Amino acid sequence: MKQVPATESKLTIVADGNDIDRSNLSFIVNPYDEFAVEEALQIKERLGAGEVTVLSMRQHESQKPEEALRTCLAMGADKAILLDGPAFHGGDSFTTATALTSAIQRLPFDLLLFGKQAVDDDGGTVGIQVAELLGIPHVAVVNKLEVHPVSRAVVAHRQVEDGIEVVEASFPVVITCQKGLNEPRYPSLPGIMKAKQKPLNTWTCEDIGIDPGRLGASGAKLKTLRVEPPPTRLTGRILDGDTSTAVKELVRILHEEEKLI
């Protein structure tokens, strides 16, 4: 689970031009990761067995992933783990996947659920890379999931261009979650109270036995050269007059001024 800047954030770029200014941002649980947490809780409720652990990593000092983890605990997760320390800062999707993999190897699991992507950098590869590093199967961008505990397998549906692809895979397996999978629940007040008592553990790179050199900037395969804002949105224009004059004017503008048709 990744904590990301709230979707309505107005981003500005820091002076040296290779990152966004994170100092005044509000953060939220990545919306696709909410689908993953909700799915895990529903599976546990359906099966009447199992344990839901939420894992996150502090990638920037300004993030407050504890808050996001508490939200997941308030939704109903059983425990939370935060990978924390300067070694985890910076880096790219590969170092993130490397760190998560080391942590996951210290936990028992059958099913690993990820959001299909984080809405801040829209990379969309961390879950898949973790599956690769663990040497287990993955099914990406899933919008319906059946879990069969007896045969220890899942049947996952993914929306593809002209239909639905149905994939079967056996435990342990990585699933990345797409919108439509479920409607994430709201944390209830009693849930928020209970969450305060649930375990939220912090693990450093020593705890997960990983060499800091493989993390952060030194382990990254990608380097950010420059961050630029998207072009500013131009103001819209409302064409006056009745439909027929407005349409004529529109065609004239598209043809003569914008040269689009």
Footprint of other proteins on this chain (CB under 8 A)? 6, 8-10, 12, 24, 26, 38, 182-186, 188-190, 192-193, 232-235
Whether the CB-CB separation of 37 and 80 falls below 8 Å is answered with no
Question: In angstroms, what is the minimal distance from the CB of 236 to other proteins?
Answer: 9
- Nearest alpha carbon to residue 130 among 158, 146, 107: 107
CB nearer to other proteins: pick between 130 and 195:
195
How buried is residue 207: exposed, middle or buried, by Cβ count under 10 Å (0-12/13-18/19+)?
middle
Question: In angstroms, what is the minimal distance from the CB of 24 to other proteins?
Answer: 6
Question: In angstroms, what is the minimal distance from the CB of 241 to other proteins?
Answer: 15
Measured distance CA(57)–CA(195) in Å, rounded: 19
CB nearer to other proteins: pick between 235 and 243:
235
CB nearer to other proteins: pick between 198 and 214:
198
Question: In angstroms, what is the minimal distance from the CB of 244 to other proteins?
Answer: 17
Residue whose structure tokens are 């397998």: 153
Q: What is the DSSP string of 152-165?
A: TEEEEEEEETTEEE
User: Where would I find the beta strands (DSSP E) of the chain?
Assistant: 3-5, 27-29, 53-57, 79-83, 111-115, 138-148, 153-160, 163-170, 173-177, 200-203
Amino acid present at 198: K
CB nearer to other proteins: pick between 43 and 220:
43
Amino acid present at 101: T
Amino acid present at 75: M
CB nearer to other proteins: pick between 42 and 204:
42
Helix/strand/coil for 62: coil
Measured distance CA(27)–CA(137) in Å, rounded: 31
Question: In angstroms, what is the minimal distance from the CB of 75 to other proteins?
Answer: 10
Question: In angstroms, what is the minimal distance from the CB of 189 to other proteins?
Answer: 4
Question: In angstroms, what is the minimal distance from the CB of 183 to other proteins?
Answer: 4
CB nearer to other proteins: pick between 192 and 253:
192
Measured distance CA(99)–CA(209) in Å, rounded: 10
CB nearer to other proteins: pick between 26 and 224:
26
